[in-house]
């Protein structure tokens, strides 16, 4: 059962472009986390959103939690090659257990 669907699976863009990746579910989550994972390494937490409609900004990254707490988006402004990586969303009902999406693999070309 796919609790969290991420789209697109792959995204290749030029440096300076903007992009949005999506994380969708039919389930309502108490919280949703976004992580970035480099090959062979562990997921690195970027942000946690807990309130429906919440928007959080982290430099050029903007995260939004849907009003119904079923979906989320990550928007990157003026992407840089250093943004290249696998972006994972993970939803939780109780913070005790996270359900991960399959990820969006982003490649930013210089």
Partner 1 sequence: EPEVTQTPSHQVTQMGQEVILRCVPISNHLYFYWYRQILGQKVEFLVSFYNNEISEKSEIFDDQFSVERPDGSNFTLKIRSTKLEDSAMYFCASSYTENTEAFFGQGTRLTVV
Which residue, 31 or 79, is less far from partner 1 as judged by CB? 31
- Nearest distance, CB of residue 17 and partner 1, angstroms: 27
Which residues, 6 or more positions from 81, have their beta carbon under 8 angstroms from its beta carbon?
15, 108, 109, 110
DSSP 32-66: EEEEEE-TTS--EEEEEE-STT-EEEETTEEEEE-
Which residue, 5 or 73, is less far from partner 1 as judged by CB? 5
Interface residue list for partner 1 (CB under 8 A): 31, 33, 35, 40-45, 48, 88, 90, 94-103
- Nearest distance, CB of residue 99 and partner 1, angstroms: 7
- Nearest distance, CB of residue 78 and partner 1, angstroms: 26
Which residue, 59 or 97, is less far from partner 1 as judged by CB? 97
Report d(CA 109, CA 99) in Å as an integer.
30
- Nearest distance, CB of residue 95 and partner 1, angstroms: 5
Cα 38 → chain centroid: 14
Which residue, 81 or 93, is less far from partner 1 as judged by CB? 93
Q: How far apart are the first and last CA of the chain?
A: 37
């Amino acid at each position: 059962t796919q609790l969290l669907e991420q789209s697109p699976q792959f995204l290749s863009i030029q440096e300076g472009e903007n992009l949005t990746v999506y994380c969708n579910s039919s389930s309502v989550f108490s919280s949703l986390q976004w992580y970035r994972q480099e090959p062979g390494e562990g997921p690195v937490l970027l942000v946690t959103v807990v309130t429906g409609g919440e928007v959080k900004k982290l430099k050029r990254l903007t995260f939004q939690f849907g009003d119904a707490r079923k979906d989320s988006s990550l928007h990157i402004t003026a992407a840089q090659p250093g943004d290249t990586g696998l972006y994972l969303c993970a939803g939780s009902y109780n913070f005790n257990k996270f359900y991960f999406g399959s990820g969006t693999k982003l490649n930013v070309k210089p």
